[in-house]
């Protein structure tokens, strides 16, 4: 008996020693800053998120190579897949916080998923930095102290297009958009702002094809029959490509003007190649050869590194991953801590000078004020795909809802909820 008891003692001590040694060793080194990255890494959205994660990683590598943050602490990512589902995203968020012990979480591509995650962030009092999902509801109606966005939002996108369209003599508008949250929000943002900026504009019809529509023949002819001066579209991805190809065959782009959010992004321009018509008014956040004064060197280095890792030029979502990481890094240094409450408070009201231009995270809603662009598609002999000319930049400050507007929106939302 005695001997067994002694053996047990030895065992316990050995196990304890084995367990504690690495912990003690780690204690001597600096603990990393653990950031959770929550994206849809499988399924349809993977096309957008793969590059975003690479963007995050490039920024973290650069920061770590320079000695890290907060006196030598390295950035370490814990990356998880939300499978585009709110339920899974919420569970992964909890798991990352409780098991992986991340300090805070960045990410999310789907607007619906972002709204769900934001509620858990609020409940757990852990900061959620929204990077890709762009519904204005996240920071306006449902905003709180633990959510900020380091990207543009649906208001910036719809209203930037409206600013450019208002300078044209077009009076009658036809609307088309995918029949879900995104399409409706962007179309109404555009229309509401256009009416404010230009007198006598008229909406003569609207069409809401389902997401994933293949055949737009009837939509196209219905719109052409109404003979509008211009058509506004919030279609995106494969739907937008299919629409443009089919509309072109009907001579659509000779008969009316086309204003499109998204058609200026590389994920549309590249696959369409020569088939993209000239003269489309298209919006975009970013182009890989865009130069922001004073940031050329850092930007070129990023594009080179990105191409090396991913095999293609960075797109809007990819540069957002990179820029967001730098914004958070600056805020961490300024806060001097990784605590969510303090970090969130520092981020609000802080200004940044990034490769996407200058931006401030607004104190009252946590929304970043990045600029957005409108341009006209044209054939550039140096590229196998269409580029944009006559590019006009609208700063976020010019177009975002004002503090007063945001408060009204929140009041209306609170009334509806009661």
Q: Which residue of 21, 125, 221, 379 would you call a contact of other proteins, by CB under 8 A? A: 221
Residue 207 interacts with other proteins (CB under 8 A): yes or no:
yes
Residue 309 interacts with other proteins (CB under 8 A): yes or no:
no
Binding mask 13-52 for other proteins (x = CB under 8 A): ------------------------------xx-xx--x--
Nearer CB in complex with other proteins: 173/370: 173
CA 113 from chain centre, in angstroms, equals 13
Q: How far apart, in whole angstroms, are the C-alpha atoms of residue 129 and residue 213?
A: 32
Q: Which residue of 215, 353, 405, 411 would you call a contact of other proteins, by CB under 8 A? A: 215
* Axis crossing angle, helix 316-335 with helix 296-310, rounded to the nearest 10: 120
Q: How far apart, in whole angstroms, are the C-alpha atoms of residue 172 and residue 202?
A: 5
Residue 199 interacts with other proteins (CB under 8 A): yes or no:
no
Nearer CB in complex with other proteins: 178/357: 178
Kindly give the residue spans of alpha helices, DSSP state H, lying in 177-285.
181-197, 217-226, 237-249, 252-255, 266-272
Q: Which residue of 94, 203, 309, 410 would you call a contact of other proteins, by CB under 8 A? A: 203
Structural contact between residues 276 and 377, judged by C-beta atoms closer than 8 angstroms: yes
Nearer CB in complex with other proteins: 207/290: 207
Residue 310 interacts with other proteins (CB under 8 A): yes or no:
no
At 284, phi and psi to the nearest 5? -160, 160
Nearer CB in complex with other proteins: 138/268: 268
Nearer CB in complex with other proteins: 8/221: 221
Stretch that binds other proteins, among 244-252, 256-264, 328-336, 387-395 (CB under 8 A): 244-252
Stretch that binds other proteins, among 92-100, 102-110, 127-135, 237-245 (CB under 8 A): 237-245
Cross-strand partners of 351: 360
Size of the site for other proteins (CB under 8 A): 47
Q: How far apart, in whole angstroms, are the C-alpha atoms of residue 83 and residue 251?
A: 40
Q: Which of residues 341-400 bind other proteins (CB under 8 A)?
A: none
Nearer CB in complex with other proteins: 207/345: 207
Kindly give the residue spans of alpha helices, DSSP state H, lying in 43-171.
46-65, 86-98, 111-124, 154-166
Q: How far is the CB of 369 from other proteins (least distance, A)?
A: 30
Q: Which of residues 273-292 bind other proteins (CB under 8 A)?
A: 273-275
Residue 64 half-sphere exposure toward CB, CA atoms < 13 A: 16
Neighbours of 353 (CB within 10 A): 13
Q: How far is the CB of 44 from other proteins (least distance, A)?
A: 5
Residue 317 interacts with other proteins (CB under 8 A): yes or no:
no
Q: How far is the CB of 415 from other proteins (least distance, A)?
A: 21
Residue 95 interacts with other proteins (CB under 8 A): yes or no:
no
128 Ramachandran zone, left/alpha/beta (phi>0; psi -120 to 50): beta
Q: How far is the CB of 288 from other proteins (least distance, A)?
A: 15
Q: How far is the CB of 112 from other proteins (least distance, A)?
A: 17
Residue 272 interacts with other proteins (CB under 8 A): yes or no:
yes
Q: Which residue of 64, 91, 250, 313 would you call a contact of other proteins, by CB under 8 A? A: 250
Residues 6+ away with beta carbon under 8 Å from 240: 233, 260, 262, 263, 268
Tell me how far apart the terminal alpha carbons of the chain are, to the nearest angstrom. 69
Cross-strand partners of 378: 387
Structural contact between residues 77 and 146, judged by C-beta atoms closer than 8 angstroms: no
Q: How far apart, in whole angstroms, are the C-alpha atoms of residue 125 and residue 146?
A: 6
Give the binding site for other proteins (CB under 8 A). 43-44, 46-47, 50, 179, 184, 202-210, 212-215, 217-219, 221-222, 225-226, 237-242, 245-246, 248-251, 267-268, 270-275
């Amino acid at each position: 008996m005695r001997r067994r008891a002694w053996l047990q003692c030895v065992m316990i001590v050995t196990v304890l020693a084995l367990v504690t040694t690495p912990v003690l060793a780690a204690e001597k080194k600096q603990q990393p800053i653990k950031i959770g990255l929550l994206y849809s890494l499988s399924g349809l959205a993977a096309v957008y998120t793969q590059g975003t994660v690479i963007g995050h990683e490039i920024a973290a590598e650069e920061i770590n190579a320079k000695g890290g943050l907060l006196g030598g602490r390295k950035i370490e990512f814990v990356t998880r897949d939300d499978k585009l589902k709110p339920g899974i995203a919420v569970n992964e968020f909890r798991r990352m916080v409780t098991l992986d012990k991340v300090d805070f979480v960045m990410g999310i591509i789907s607007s619906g998923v972002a709204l769900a995650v934001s509620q858990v962030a609020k409940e757990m009092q852990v900061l959620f930095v929204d990077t890709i999902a762009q519904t204005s509801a996240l920071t306006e109606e449902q905003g709180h102290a633990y959510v900020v966005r380091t990207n543009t939002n649906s208001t910036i996108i719809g209203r930037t297009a409206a600013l450019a369209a208002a300078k044209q003599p077009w009076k009658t508008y036809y609307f088309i958009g995918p029949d879900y949250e995104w399409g409706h929000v962007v179309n109404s943002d555009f229309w509401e702002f256009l009416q404010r900026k230009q007198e006598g504009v008229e909406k003569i019809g609207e069409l809401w094809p389902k997401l994933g529509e293949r055949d737009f023949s009837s939509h196209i002819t219905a719109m052409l029959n109404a003979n509008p001066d211009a058509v506004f579209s919030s279609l995106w991805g494969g739907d937008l490509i299919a629409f443009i190809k089919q509309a072109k065959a009907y001579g659509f782009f000779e008969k009316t003007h086309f204003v499109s959010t998204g058609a200026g992004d590389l994920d549309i321009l590249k696959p369409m190649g020569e088939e993209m018509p000239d003269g489309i008014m298209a919006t975009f956040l970013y182009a890989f050869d865009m130069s922001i004064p004073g940031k050329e060197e850092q930007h070129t280095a990023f594009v080179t590194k990105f191409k090396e890792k991913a095999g293609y030029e960075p797109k809007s979502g990819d540069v957002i991953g990179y820029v967001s990481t730098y914004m958070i890094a600056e805020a961490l240094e300024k806060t001097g801590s990784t605590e969510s409450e303090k970090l969130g408070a520092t981020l609000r009201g802080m200004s940044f000078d990034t490769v996407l231009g200058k931006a401030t995270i607004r104190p009252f809603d946590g929304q970043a004020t990045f600029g957005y662009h409108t341009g006209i598609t044209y054939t550039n002999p140096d590229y196998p795909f269409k580029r944009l000319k006559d590019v006009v930049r609208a700063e976020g400050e010019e177009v975002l809802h004002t503090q007063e507007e945001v408060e009204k929106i929140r009041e209306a939302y609170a009334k509806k909820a009661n």
